[in-house]
Structure 1
Amino acid sequence: MKNQIKRLATINRIQSTGLELFYQKGFYNTSLDDILKKLSLSKGAFYYHFQSKEEFFISIAQTLLFRKVYLDLIAPIEGKEDPLDTIIQCLDTNLETAENNFLDYGFILGNFITEFNGKNPEVMTYLQDILTVWEVNLVTILQKGKTDGYISRHVDSEALASFIISSYMGVRTLMVEKKNKRLRYKYIQQLRQYFKTMDSRATV
């Protein structure tokens, strides 16, 4: 049992460092030597746990990356009553965190999707799976909002979910270069105005 716990702790440490470096420099600009140097780890120790750099990244996507997206963007909106307001609060909280983070390099999932798109179909499958989980959860909360009377019946939940994801990924990219509250403020205000057109209570 102790050996298993130690092994899992080692894997988590390697994955955490790998994710940090891949996020900062990109997958293709980060060498295995960069990771090993940061960890003071031998190649033998690395290959004991992972067969390749690609398999290493996939393991990160399945665990740490999925967990981060879930905790940041899915868990905060699950089971909440007013979906439109809840989604805005969730996005604003994440944008504020990024705004105050001087080591922010953009939306981590979006960065990897951009980097691997057209280059590695296998890795893209895992990244798209994470995106799909986020999208499905958005659609679910929006559909529930329609049933509960918060959102107008005519709203296309799938289209709205796609818009929310793409607009959020876009503003996160812009915020890497323009770290100012005005950009975040304008985005959230415009999103709020857009959501008002779908609020069933505002049309009564």
Structure 2
Amino acid sequence: MEKKMKRMATMHRLQVTGLELFYQQGYYNTSIDDILGKLSLSKGAFYYHFQSKDDFFISIIQNLVVQKVYGTLVQPIEGKEDPFTAIAQCFEVSLETAEHNELDRGFVLSNFMAEFKGKNPEIMEYFKDVLKVWEVNLISSLQKGKSDGYVDRHVDSSAVATYLISSYIGIRALMVEGNCRTLRYKYMMQLRHYFKMLANKETA
């Protein structure tokens, strides 16, 4: 049991450090030696746990990226009565967190998707699956909002979900180089205005 725990702890350290460096420097600009050097581990330790760099990165997606996206953007709106309030609060918390992160380089999922597009179809499929989970969650929340009287019944939930994902990715990219606080304020103000336009006028 102790040996298994140590093995799991080493894998987790590798994954956490790997994600940190891949996010900051890019996957193709980061070598396994960069990660091992930061942790003072040998190549033998790495290849004991992972077959290759790609295998290692897939484990990071499955264990850390999925958890990050789910915990930040999916779980906060699951089962909430008013989807517009829940989504707005969820986005604002996420954007405020990014605003105060000095090492922020943008939205982790979209960054990696941009880097891997056209280069590694297998890994791209993992990212598309994560994105799909987020999209389905938004659509489900909006559809539930229609049934509960918060969302106008004529609203195209799929189109709104696409817009929300696109706009969130866009504002996260702008915040990397711009005035984070002002951008967040303007974005959230317009997002709430947009939601008012989609609300069920009979119950609003």
Same fold by TM-score greater than 0.5? yes
Q: CA RMSD in A?
A: 1.1
Change (3 A) 1:24 1:149: same
Q: Which residue of 1 is the match for residue 12 of structure 2?
A: 12
Query: Secondary structure at 1:200's aligned position in 2?
Result: coil
2:85 is aligned with 1:77: no
* Percent identity for Structure 1 against Structure 2: 63
**Alpha-carbon displacement from aligned partner over 1:117-159 (angstroms, at most 9, x marks no partner):** 1111000000111111111111111110001000000011111
Q: What is residue 66 of structure 2 aligned with on the other side? A: 66
Measured after TM superposition, the shift of residue 2 of structure 1 is 1.7
Instruction: State the alpha-carbon separation in 2 of the partners of residues 165 and 66 from structure 1.
Output: 16
Distance, in Å, in 2 between the alignment partners of 1:138 and 1:33 is: 39
Aligned amino acid, residue 166 of structure 1 = S
Q: TM-score, normalised by structure 1?
A: 0.97
Letter in structure 2 aligned against 1:148: D
Is residue 149–residue 203 contact of structure 2 (8 Å, CA) maintained in 1?
Answer: no
Structure 2: runs of 5+ lacking an equivalent? none
Matched letter for residue 101 of structure 1: N
The answer (yes or no) to whether the contact 1:107–1:172 under 8 Å persists in 2 is: yes
Q: Deviations over 1:158-201 (max 9, x none)?
A: 11111100100000000000133111111111111111111004
**Take 1:133 and 1:119, find their aligned partners in 2: how far apart are those partners?**
23
User: What CA distance in whole angstroms lies between the structure 2 residues aligned with 1:11 and 1:136?
Assistant: 31
Give the match for residue 157 of structure 2.
157
CA contact (8 A) 1:149 1:200 kept: yes
TM-score normalised by the chain length of structure 2: 0.97
What SS does the aligned partner of 2:30 have? Answer: coil
Alignment of 1:178-189 (within 5 A): 178-189=178-189
- Rounded Cα–Cα distance in structure 1 between residues aligned with 2:144 and 2:82: 10
Q: How many residues align?
A: 204
Q: Which runs of 4+ in 1 moved over 2 A?
A: 201-204
Specify the alignment match of 1:198 in structure 2. Answer: 198
Distance of 1:48 and 1:94 partners within structure 2: 36
- 8 A contact 2:106–2:175 mirrored in 1: yes
| Deviation readout 1:31-61 (Å, 9 max, x if unpaired) | 1110110111111110010011011000000
What SS class does the counterpart of residue 144 from structure 2 fall into? Answer: helix
Displacement after TM superposition at 1:6 (Å): 1.4
Alpha-carbon distance in 2 for matches of 1:88, 1:102: 23
Letter in 1 for 2:193: Q
Name the residue aligned to 2:104. 104
Indicate conservation of the 8 Å contact 2:150/2:203, yes or no. Answer: no
Partner SS state of residue 161, structure 2: helix
Residue 180 of structure 2 aligns with an amino acid whose one-letter code is N
Instruction: Give the drift of 1:202.
Output: 6.2
Aligned equivalent of 2:53:
53
Displacement of 1:9: 1.1
Q: Distance in 1 between matches of 2:36 and 2:29?
A: 14
Code of the residue aligned with 1:187 in structure 2: it is: Y
1:115 aligns with 2:115: yes
Partner of residue 145, structure 1:
145
Q: 1:44 maps to which residue? A: 44
Alpha-carbon distance, 1:203 to partner: 7.4
